[in-house]
Each structure stands twice: as structure tokens, then as C-alpha cells.
């Protein structure tokens, strides 16, 4: 059996007031009627703790869209898990913040779509969102909880990266995650409008490195780069089924938060299977775990136990085969697909995330 997962991503709901065109939720969104109940989530948290998880990331959609979010936080704390709320902040008010703190919330990760109100409204599809996020950040810091800002960056907002870093400082965040869009699901549908140029990527990297030096000891900057300019793949999620465990709103147990984008692959469900059984025994988790599944040229590659074959969701999205060599690798026979996508980039309109 693989080592214990370090963290559980609990996708509590797909409901969200925002409509971000790079949303990591699957194209087919789960309705509220199919979501796990409070009691079911509490059982999941206890199983996660027994399995060895230390942290719980409460996500969505927008997790505060659930009326039982306070009870869910309390259940995670009762299970002994460090609780991180990943939120857009637009539904967070002072009474709710107080109840979440009382329930045992440990940390808040707040998303921002752009540094300017007009850009944030265009990307997120919600008027007034930036002002609500500013209020939410103030509520978090006033409560004494640590705040992380999550800035998803792409072709349409990278020019505002310096200002996004300034906002993190102004709002009292101790950390900012500058995360380039990863292309599957909704982001894949909007790839031509989101893919940055190489010049944009190089400038973003320069800005991040300079800001790290300037704000060392005050602001931690995590930086996630896109694969489309790469010659080597990333160790996606630390390797399939090695570090990460996710549960979807309807209870599917996932080795990657985007794994449901691999159509035709069956995943165990918490209503039928324990987390421990899913982690250790399910075909889905073992399908791409380790190196034995790898095709050439991955098999025997000196990087095989560093990148673990790269991203299976990306391989499927681009080639139709989840077992194919990640096209981000220069040795992949499909590597040219990335250059083709970059050449086609430059659209300005979005296809927004929506229930269908």
C-alpha cells in the first residue's frame, strides 16, 4: 500500500457565485441534491484522519455556499485535521467569520481574479466581487487567522501581477500563490484566451523572483508555472496516488482534483467504499501509481521518480490517452501539440463556467 496521503481536498459543492473560465471543476457540475450530507462529510473526515491525513482543504465551487459550512468545519476539527477554507470570499460576512473561527477554522485561502475591479468582474463574471474580497480579507486578518491569497494568472491578467503582489501585502496576507492556469476542464475550453506568451511567462518569473527578494520574511510567494512552455513535466500532485486524496461533492474519491476529466475511468465513492480501501486497493488509484505503468520513453527515464510521468489529466486532454507520455515532456511524440496551441492563442472572449 502507498504511504499515507498528506492532505484531503474536500470539494463540498460545485455551486459558486463566480463563473471563472479557468475553473478546475469538471464540465459536468454536481447539483446540490447529489452533494454529500453533513454527516457523510464528518465520516469522511474521520476516515481521512485514520488514514494519516493531517490537513483538510475545504473547497468547491464556493464552500460557503453550503448552509452547513460551520458544522462541516467543526466536524473536520473534531477529527483532528488542520482546516483550510479555500474561498472566493464573496459570501463571507462578519457573523459567518466569527462562527467559522469558533468552529475551529485554522486558515483561509482567498482567491482573486485580477488586481483591477473591471478585470476581476470580466474574469469572474460577478459585479462588485473585488470589494467583497477586500472585506473578506479584513475579516480574516482581524480574526487572527493566517491568510493566503490565491492569484490565478494567465494571458488576460499577467500585466497586473506586480499589483496583485502589492494587494497581498496591503490585505495582510502572509502568503500568495501565483498560479498559472493548468489546462483541463473549463480552462482547456478557454485555452486560446488564457495561454500566456513566452515573453509574459519570462516577465512573470522575473517579477516573482524580484518580489521574493524584496519581501523575504514578510510575504511567501509560491509560484506554479504552466506546462505549455516546458521541456519537462511537473510531478503533478506529487505523483498520481502518492500524496493527494480528493473527494468530489457527490462523494467520488479521486487521486487528483481533475481526475474526473478522464472520461471512462471509474472512481470509488465514499457511499460505497472507505477512503482506506480506495487509497490502497482501487484500480483507479493504482492505475498510474509508481512507474510500472509507464510507456516508453518514460520507462527507465532518470526523471521517472521525480516527475512520476507528469500529468495524467493533461495527457488525456491532449492525446485522448491517460497513459500517454505527458506532452509537456520534450521526449513525448505529442510535444508539438503545445507549440501548436501557443500559435493558436490570442482569443479575447471567454466561455464561462456554468451549470448545464
**Binding-site residues for [4Fe-4S] cluster:** 16, 20, 23
Measure the CA–CA gap between 41 and 38, rounded to whole angstroms: 5
Identify whether 297 is preceded by a cis peptide bond (ω within 30 of 0).
yes
Following DSSP, what letter does each residue of 270-292 receive, concatenated?
Answer: TTTS-HHHHHHH-HHHHTTSSST
Three-state DSSP class for 117?
A: helix
Q: What are the phi and psi torsion angles at 206 (to 5°)? A: -65, -45
Would you list which residues are annotated within the binding site? 16, 20, 23
**Residue where the block lists cell 475511468:** 265
- Bridge partners of residue 246, in order along the sequence: 9, 254
Q: Please report how many Cα atoms fall inside a 13 Å half-sphere around the Cα of residue 11, on the Cβ side.
A: 30
Nearest to 10 by CA among 78, 80, 67, 81: 81
Would you say 170 and 1 are in contact if contact means Cβ atoms under 8 Å apart?
A: no
What residues contact 90, with CB distance under 8 A and at least 6 apart? 17, 18, 62, 126, 129, 132, 133, 136
Measure the CA–CA gap between 140 and 134, rounded to whole angstroms: 10
Q: What are the phi and psi torsion angles at 11 (to 5°)? A: -85, 95
DSSP type of residue 33: G
Neighbours of 351 (CB within 10 A): 12
What is the C-alpha R_g of the chain?
20
Amino acid at each position: 500500500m502507498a504511504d499515507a496521503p498528506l492532505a484531503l481536498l474536500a470539494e463540498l459543492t460545485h455551486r459558486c457565485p463566480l463563473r471563472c473560465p479557468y475553473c478546475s471543476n469538471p464540465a459536468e457540475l454536481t447539483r446540490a441534491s447529489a452533494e454529500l450530507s453533513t454527516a457523510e462529510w464528518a465520516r469522511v473526515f474521520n476516515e481521512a484522519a485514520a488514514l494519516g491525513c493531517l490537513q483538510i482543504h475545504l473547497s468547491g465551487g464556493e464552500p460557503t455556499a453550503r448552509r452547513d459550512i460551520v458544522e462541516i468545519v467543526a466536524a473536520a476539527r473534531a477529527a483532528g485535521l488542520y482546516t483550510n477554507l479555500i474561498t472566493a470570499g464573496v459570501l463571507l460576512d462578519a457573523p459567518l467569520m466569527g462562527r467559522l473561527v469558533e468552529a475551529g477554522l485554522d486558515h483561509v485561502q482567498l482567491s482573486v481574479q485580477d488586481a483591477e475591479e473591471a478585470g476581476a468582474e470580466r474574469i469572474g463574471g460577478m459585479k462588485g466581487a473585488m470589494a467583497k474580497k477586500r472585506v473578506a480579507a479584513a475579516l480574516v486578518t482581524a480574526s487572527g487567522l493566517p491568510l493566503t491569497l490565491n492569484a490565478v494568472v494567465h494571458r488576460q491578467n499577467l500585466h497586473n501581477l506586480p499589483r496583485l503582489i502589492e494587494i497581498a501585502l496591503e490585505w495582510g496576507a502572509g502568503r500568495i500563490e501565483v498560479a498559472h492556469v493548468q489546462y483541463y476542464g473549463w480552462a482547456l475550453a478557454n485555452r486560446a484566451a488564457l495561454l500566456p506568451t513566452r515573453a509574459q511567462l519570462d516577465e512573470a518569473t522575473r517579477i516573482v523572483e524580484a518580489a521574493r527578494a524584496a519581501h523575504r520574511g514578510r510575504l511567501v510567494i509560491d509560484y506554479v508555472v504552466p506546462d505549455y512552455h516546458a521541456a519537462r513535466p511537473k510531478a503533478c500532485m506529487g505523483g498520481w496516488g502518492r500524496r493527494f486524496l480528493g473527494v468530489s461533492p457527490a462523494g467520488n474519491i479521486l487521486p487528483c482534483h481533475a481526475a474526473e476529466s478522464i472520461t471512462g475511468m471509474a472512481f470509488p465513492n465514499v457511499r460505497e467504499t472507505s477512503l482506506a480501501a480506495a487509497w490502497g486497493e482501487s484500480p483507479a488509484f493504482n492505475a498510474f501509481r509508481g512507474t510500472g505503468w509507464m510507456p516508453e520513453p518514460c520507462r527507465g527515464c532518470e526523471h521517472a521518480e521525480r516527475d512520476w510521468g507528469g500529468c495524467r489529466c493533461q495527457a488525456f486532454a491532449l492525446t485522448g490517452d491517460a497513459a500517454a507520455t505527458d506532452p509537456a515532456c520534450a521526449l513525448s511524440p505529442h510535444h508539438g501539440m503545445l507549440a501548436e496551441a501557443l500559435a493558436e492563442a490570442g482569443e479575447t472572449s471567454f466561455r464561462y463556467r456554468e451549470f448545464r
